[in-house]
Amino acid sequence: MGVTAGIGVFDSGVGGLTVLRAIHAALPEESTYYLGDSARMPYGAKSQETVTRYALAAADFLCELRIKALVVACSTASSVALPALREHVQVPVLGVVEAGVARALASTRGGAVAVAATEGTARSGAYQRALTRAVPGLRVVARACPLFAPLVEEGTVEGPLAEAVVRHHLGGLADEGVDTVVLGCTHYPLLRHALAAVLGPGVEIVDGAESVAAELGRILGERGLRAPAGTPAVRRYFATDAPDRLQALGSRFLGAPVPQVELADLFAPGK
């Protein structure tokens, strides 16, 4: 795969654009293909088998566009489908779990670490295992936050309602000795203000987006796959349903207007 091939990035919907944003900032010369599997969102409430099937279909779609790396910008898919994806595709596959864990470990000051995640991610134990593998004995509190992603999708990311929902899912964490919360879902960085308001100044809030982008740069560099400076980057966006919605909602996640979003049919006859 040549240096001009793109980076494939997928999520169940718009949340992964928070990771894409970090990739664009760190590696502006790289072409990127983003796929939001909006037809099948949310992944967070589905079984491991179903999420894995969806993730493999998303990977196949992106591989057809000629990619040199695949970034799983969805914590749920990263938690349950990474081994299957790595077996399935020829290019390096990066998930967001290890990156978030690294940030949490860099931030904690000896207290407990909380993982805020979808039900599927919390149930998988992926963050909990990675944290305690790195620091045996670390106290980890996992909280499933099923109302967060819909809240973010509806654009309610600040104010009394957002804070009430944050309190509902994460209230009392500081009292449990938690000093760091790792955002184990790519939708959650948008709730950062509401989270900070509820959790207070003693609790650090971290996510893995920037670390994934840095790790991606490192892997591409190691393999001699970095696009040379000055390469005009191609950026394409796909959604499996309602592309207009991804375009309208996406700018908030991407931090820039999302250009035209193309419709992708992952399960078309013959695929």
Site residues (CB under 6 A) for ligand DGL? Answer: 11-12, 15, 41-44, 74-76, 118, 121, 149, 185-187
Distance (Å, whole) CA 99 – CA 207: 8
Contact 69, 113 (CB under 8 A): no
Distance (Å, whole) CA 140 – CA 112: 6
Q: In the complex with ligand DGL, which residue's Cβ is closer, 44 or 92?
A: 44
Q: In the complex with ligand DGL, which residue's Cβ is closer, 111 or 150?
A: 150
Q: In the complex with ligand DGL, which residue's Cβ is closer, 52 or 121?
A: 121
Q: In the complex with ligand DGL, which residue's Cβ is closer, 74 or 178?
A: 74
208 SS3 class: coil
DSSP string, 19-31: HHHHHHHH-TTS-
Q: In the complex with ligand DGL, which residue's Cβ is closer, 11 or 215?
A: 11
Q: In angstroms, what is the minimal distance from the CB of 169 to ligand DGL?
A: 14
Q: In angstroms, what is the minimal distance from the CB of 136 to ligand DGL?
A: 27
Q: In angstroms, what is the minimal distance from the CB of 202 to ligand DGL?
A: 26
Q: In angstroms, what is the minimal distance from the CB of 228 to ligand DGL?
A: 32
Spatial CA neighbour of 142 closest among 118, 111, 167, 116 = 116
Q: In angstroms, what is the minimal distance from the CB of 117 to ligand DGL?
A: 7
Distance (Å, whole) CA 210 – CA 218: 12
- Quote the strand ranges of the chain, DSSP E: 6-11, 32-36, 67-72, 93-94, 112-117, 140-144, 178-184, 204-206, 235-239, 261-263
Distances (CA, A) of 167 to 118, 160, 172, 185, 243: 16, 10, 8, 17, 32
Q: In angstroms, what is the minimal distance from the CB of 10 to ligand DGL?
A: 10
Q: Give the pair of three-digit tokens for residue 210.
A: 């920037």
Distances (CA, A) of 7 to 76, 178, 192: 20, 36, 27
Q: In the complex with ligand DGL, which residue's Cβ is closer, 34 or 220?
A: 34
Q: Point out the residues that are catalytic.
A: 74, 185
Buried b (16+ CB within 10 A) or exposed e, 138-157: bbbbbbbbbebbebbbeebb
Q: What angle do CA 13, 14, 15 make, to 5 degrees?
A: 100
